[in-house]
Amino acid sequence: MNYLERRANDLRQYRPDTTAPSDLDAFWERTLKEASARPLAASRKQVDGLSPYTAVHKVTYQGFDDTPIHGWYLLPTFAGERKLPCAVIFHGYSGGKGNPEQHAHWLLQGYAVLAIDVRGQGGETGNLLSQSFGMTKGWLSQGLLDPDSHYYRAITVDALKAVEWAAQQPEIDPHRIVTAGGSQGGGLALMTAALSDLPWRTVADIPNMCHMDFGILNSTGSLTEAAEFVSRFPEHQEQVLKTLSYFDLLNLCERIRKPVFVSVGLKDTVCMPETIFAVYNRISAPKRLQVYPFNGHFTSGDHFAKVAAFLREDDDCVMMG
């Protein structure tokens, strides 16, 4: 066995202890109940696009609070009158929903697309979430001392409401909704799969929000903001770890019931392989893992072709392990 084989084998055996707080189920039951009671207050408006083969709509809706969440809703006009599958796309940390043409690869597969901004980051969407304690740079430390007011709670509900909106659209087959994204977006894709019955498939590329007690110590990504917060306020270390545990997929992934496709780079220092394998190894639903031994925080090659092949398979044909 060479070193690469040994490394992959060790990671496939990696099963750290979960860190779930005692009231995790009650927290999410309450959060989902509150979210279901909030109206979407949504709007969609068709705008000009670059291609006659795509109908482009600007969308806004309300998720966790009164913040208008902005998105693109894209329809392949060549697909005919049939009900369409829909990919709900979440972007990486500090990014945005991008331009409509960036999602053409999904449209060419015959999918509608709902691509949303994550609040307060690099898109059009603001952030009305309240803040009662100091923050370090970035967004992750907002509300870090209380899971009820933490940023991750807000963006998770925003993501769940995006899936809800997509399922209500007359062009969409509500039984064929895919949640997808990379990094932060991959984490949100898995969160929606864990907390909602609507996603039919999930594509989580190099996902964040995994095994965060490991990541806060070792990652070079967004969790450095939480680490810096603890460095400034060491007396709050335990509370910070507890808050993050409510949103750690290590504690939620066993709720996933529909097929998932996950990718990982073995040289990734942002979403480290230990964090992704820790979650993937606990998923009992049908699953597939794409390992890139020489990749950092990115996928490469014909990756989307692998994703497309996964989405074309029947439920009972999706590989386990």
Residue list, annotated binding site for substrate: 93
183 catalytic per annotation: yes
Residues annotated in the binding site, as ranges? Answer: 93
175 catalytic per annotation: no
Annotated catalytic residue: which of 141, 150, 183, 222?
A: 183
Strands 54-62 and 43-47: antiparallel
Long-range contacts of 134-141 (CB under 8 A, 24+ apart): 134/232, 134/233, 135/229, 136/225, 136/226, 136/228, 136/229, 136/232, 137/225, 137/228, 138/94, 138/222, 138/225, 139/225, 140/222, 140/223, 140/225, 140/226, 141/225, 141/226, 141/228, 141/229
268 catalytic per annotation: yes
Q: By C-alpha distance, which of 160, 171, 168 is closest to 199? A: 160
Instruction: Please identify every residue annotated as catalytic.
Output: 183, 268, 297
